[in-house]
Structure 1
Amino acid sequence: MNTLETKRLLLRDWNEDDLGCGVHNDDTIRYLIAVKNNYAMVLKETGEIIGTIGLNEDADNNPNRRNVGVRVIEAYRNQGYMQEALAEVFLHAQLPIEAFSWFCATDNAPSLHLADKFGFTYVKTFSKDDFNLPTPCDHVYLIRKRS
């Protein structure tokens, strides 16, 4: 996979040097190294990894749809980094992807706002019991058709 670039970020493959970076635990980083279409979000200015963004297999195993997975270190939230990264990843997503899905907690207003900004539409709200989650929060499932 090629490195993608935005105004402030480099989006690149994860590698062994990223272990201990603080965005994820080491087991998760090892997993991200092994799978395709997951990027470390790196600040151009400092080289610091501030988050992750990926297009993962769809929960319904639809080969033409990808689930958007995102995470930004708290200190860098609400500064437009995820918007930059999403725009670039969507631009370079390879066919035959026809749609993107997004799950986020119902109380995650910034994530819901970003999904709305990118044209995702509400599909369904799931309770924690639907996914056997350890935390008591509901999740919203949203869909965006490829433009």
Structure 2
Amino acid sequence: MNKEIATERLVLRPWQESDAESLYKYAQDPAIGPIAGWPPHTSVEDSLNIIRTVFAAPETYAVVLKETGEPVGSIGIMLGDGLHSAEMRANEAEIGYWIGKPYWGQGLIPEAVRCLLKRCFEDLGMTAVWCGYYDGNTKSRRVMEKCGFRFHHTEEGNTSPLGDVRTEHFMWMTKEEWLKISKEENLCK
């Protein structure tokens, strides 16, 4: 069971069926899903189905604004035995995320990513964490850079969940690198 994680401005918590309207509000935007490889949500029922299936996975969290209590994005840790895009070894994970367009550029996702890095390395015993982004998704790449990930490799000819062929870039961070960074910042409560 996912635990609830608090940051300065956010609560990361399991998705609830009652979040379907908020999820649809942000996930229907064509600027959000396609660049990350998934189709925009088409209805509140579509979003509810995603909550019941995709977002029911372990370590998948609603990104909730403390100020309003509204979920405005999603973040999750994918382990080697689940759905992920990086070629991972045992004790490695991948973090994926998105946030609604009105909240772009506010540093909310880097805040959430830093907390999940802490969860990966301290609670889950991971030795490295991956992040991937499709060519052109500069906002996602910027989040990774802000959080201390470094470029690992590029794969061309990957088929996205939308069925098109894309170039995907992978970044990663080892536990040793995270320990150096985490001494300077501790955003999780």
Bin the TM-score by the shorter chain: 0.7 to 0.9
Matched, 1:109 2:138: yes
Deviation (angstroms), 1:3: 0.8
- What SS does structure 2 have at the residue aligned with 1:75? helix
Show the counterpart of 1:130.
Answer: 158
- Using the aligned pairs only, state the percent identity: 27
Deviates more, 1:50-59 or 1:76-85: 50-59
Residue ranges of structure 1 left out of the alignment (5+ in a row)? none
Q: What is the letter of the counterpart of residue 11 of structure 1?
A: L
Q: What is the letter of the counterpart of residue 158 of structure 2?
A: D
Matched, 1:27 2:49: yes
Deviates more, 1:72-81 or 1:114-123: 114-123
Deviates more, 1:73-82 or 1:19-28: 19-28
Structure-2 change in CA distance of 1:61 and 1:141 (3 Å):
closer
Structure-2 change in CA distance of 1:114 and 1:33 (3 Å):
closer
Deviates more, 1:53-62 or 1:76-85: 53-62
Q: What is the letter of the counterpart of residue 34 of structure 1?
A: A
Report the aligned-residue RMSD. 2.0
Which consecutive segments of 4 or more residues in structure 1 shift more than 6 A?
Answer: none
- What SS does structure 2 have at the residue aligned with 1:110? helix
Structure-2 change in CA distance of 1:105 and 1:69 (3 Å):
same
Structure-2 change in CA distance of 1:126 and 1:27 (3 Å):
farther
Judge conservation of contact 1:125–1:141 (CA < 8 Å) in 2.
Answer: yes
Deviation (angstroms), 1:50: 0.7
More helix by share: 2
Show the counterpart of 1:87.
Answer: 114
Deviation (angstroms), 1:41: 0.5
Show the counterpart of 1:142.
Answer: 171
Show the counterpart of 1:45.
Answer: 67
More strand by share: 1
Structure-2 change in CA distance of 1:60 and 1:126 (3 Å):
closer
Quote the Cα distance in structure 2 between the aligned partners of 1:63 and 1:102: 16
- Normalising by structure 1, what TM-score? 0.86
Quote the Cα distance in structure 2 between the aligned partners of 1:62 and 1:70: 21
- What SS does structure 2 have at the residue aligned with 1:130? strand
Show the counterpart of 2:4.
Answer: 3
Quote the Cα distance in structure 2 between the aligned partners of 1:100 and 1:136: 24
Deviation (angstroms), 1:117: 2.0
More contact order relative to length (CA 8 Å, sep ≥ 6): 2
Quote the Cα distance in structure 2 between the aligned partners of 1:27 and 1:61: 28
- What SS does structure 2 have at the residue aligned with 1:28? helix
- Normalising by structure 2, what TM-score? 0.69
Aligned equivalent of 1:74, options 101, 105, 116: 101
Aligned equivalent of 1:100, options 129, 141, 144: 129
Matched, 1:54 2:82: no
